[in-house]
Amino acid sequence: MAIVQENRSVVGRILRASTTGFDCGTRGSRIDDRHTFGAFVKVPISEDPSVYAVGLIYAIRIDDDPLARELVMASYVDNNTLIDQRENRLVPVEICVVNVGHANGSMFQSLPPRPPMSLSEVELMSAEEVYLFTRRFDYFRLVLNAKEVPSDELLAAALRYASFAYPEDERYDFLVRSGRRIAELLSHDLKRLSHVLALIKPQ
């Protein structure tokens, strides 16, 4: 999945947050390539827009609402009704994010000092920001140790996503270096290591 290239690619607005991660919401009709498992996102944690938390999308949740329950039970649903329900849902689509870094002039691969405020806009990181952030691999440990997150699949998806921020002639080397670092971190668990490496193996 290539990184969406837009000047400002908004994923959603903060619903709830902590220093370890956050959930944001958006309308169902706005789900697209910005909402990708393993995508790198950012959200301001200060009045200064250059100070922000960095996270990875690890889940996208579409909860039901009273109308959806009713329509599921109907024997026939008009297409216009379906479109209206998707665009005017009573509950937002939720995007779940685990924090893996923050920025304050420089980029740091550690948990941010504070969470974002409610309704702050979450954006995709630009290809340049992803490239700069993923030059180091310290965030791997945060992902692999994250609770209630499909950590192995998430790390592999994030690396595949990040590889598109690199020039084509650097992508293979990036994945190989990433694999070596993962091998160091998971040397005590060869079964898990084999699984993760298989997920990021260049085709």
pLDDT value for 116: 96
Q: Would you say how long the chain is, in residues?
A: 203
Please return the burial class of 92, using the count of CB atoms within 10 Å of its CB with bins 0-12, 13-18 and 19+. buried
What pLDDT score was predicted for residue 32?
81
pLDDT recorded at residue 34: 86
Calpha distance 15→24 (Å, rounded): 5
Residue ranges of the domains in the chain?
A: 10-200
Minimal CA–CA distance to 116: which of 8, 41, 30?
41
pLDDT the model gives residue 6: 46
Q: What is the pLDDT of residue 86?
A: 65
Phi, psi (degrees; rounded to nearest 5) at 16? -150, 155
d(CA 149, CA 156): 13
- The whole-number mean pLDDT for each consecutive block of 10 residues of the chain, a chain of 203 residues, reads 61 96 85 90 94 97 72 71 66 92 96 96 97 97 95 97 96 95 96 95 72
Q: Say how far apart CA 65 and CA 89 lie, in whole Å.
A: 8
Tokens 């301001």 label which residue? 44
Residue type, 53: A
Strand partners, 59: 96
